[in-house]
Structure 1
Amino acid sequence: MTHDKPIPTSRPHDDSDPLDFLSNLGEDVSAAQQALFSHPEMAGWLERTPGLGHEIPWTIASFTDETGRRVSGLVVAGSFTNGKWDLTTEFVLFTGRARRPGAFLTVDGSAVSVRPQGSLPGVGPRRPDCMTLLKEVQAASMAWAAKPSLRAHWAVFATTHGCGPMPDTFVELRFEDKCYRGLLIDGTLDSTGLWDMEQYVALLLPTGRTVELLADQADSVTFLTGGEHYDLKRFG
């Protein structure tokens, strides 16, 4: 199988304005993402700002409130023009980090001094619509059915692990600017019988190409057939 393991990289930051809690911008954005994607109000905010994390970069900003407390967080809504957030107008800051749930704060950028602490680029175009995804699933399934070696391997795997007669788990893994969607055709199952996304997995892409990826290095893993956002991983 083809080994294809994109490794995300961290980025330097301005030491004169150290980021909260963590040592670099990549880790700070990653911790904020983890909190955001586990927050119960996540879906609503992503619908409000559909390009967030795609065409719109992940941006950390900070301001000092009326009590003198410094508040920093991830910008999730507001006016985004000319490739950047306009932090002189009203915007929404999400203050969560990793296991700390945080809150969505509406900030009047004209009333406080806001400082952008840095941005990491999004992962490119958003996920295709449902019909396009269904065509991708169909193409990957047909590619699997057309390869006797893949069918034979799955027969052994399915017998060993109690899976169905053909692979039916379609996932998306994103590594910064690279995105892979395909059928899970090999990997490790955990004690509950679910795919262990801390290990190598093999994906059969709609093009018929097989790639082997270390899922634990992905920025995000989404089980598209189950509708569940699995996890959001740290940048390197």
Structure 2
Amino acid sequence: MKAFILAAGRGERMRPLTDHTPKPLLQAGGKPLIVWHLERLAAAGFKEIAINHAHLGAQIEQTLGDGASWGLNIQYSPEPPGALETAGGIATALPLLDEQPFLVVNGDVYCDWDFNRARQLTAKTAHLVMVANPAHHTTGDFSLDGERVIYANGKQTLTYAGIGVFSPSFFAGVQSGTVMKLRPLLDAAIAAGTLTGEHHTGRWVDVGTPQRLAELDQELKNA
């Protein structure tokens, strides 16, 4: 099973930190955010990793190289300035991901979800890892009815963690190089009753602001 790390975002809310450093390379606990993912993916037995990039992407390639430092093989999917959004970025990188379901991880989150579990989800067309709503996103995204992802309808909402398992067929209607968000595809899958998910109750941080980065940095240094 391969993994795809989303690392193309500009990181506007992180400025000025991201003016000269791509967001996934910002450090927390003494190492770049994306390296936490690489180490955990390697520990879970992943070998093949694809990473997209746009803003200052050359720095990501220079820092991570071919992945040999972690026992990984990393391939890159460069995107134009402004990037292609999540669905567009994944669709463009599909040639690097073969024809089997793959794990997707946002490069700017910190999470202790067990990446080994991804291999148990390969029968799903699309499966989202969701977490309790953080203080900066109290309205949440979706709800769960058992394993099926639904809209709230009075139920407790959860926030998409930026981690999921997807079949390549989920992006079949997205042309390579297209700018497209993930949400329209998720909405269509909810309407079709095919989107599944789970509630992760462990540690998760959306490292979206300098303050949250500083807090995570201190937490990891104290751990």
Interval containing the TM-score (normalised by the shorter chain): under 0.3
Higher strand proportion, which one? 1
TM-score by length of 2: 0.27
TM-score by length of 1: 0.26
Higher helix proportion, which one? 2
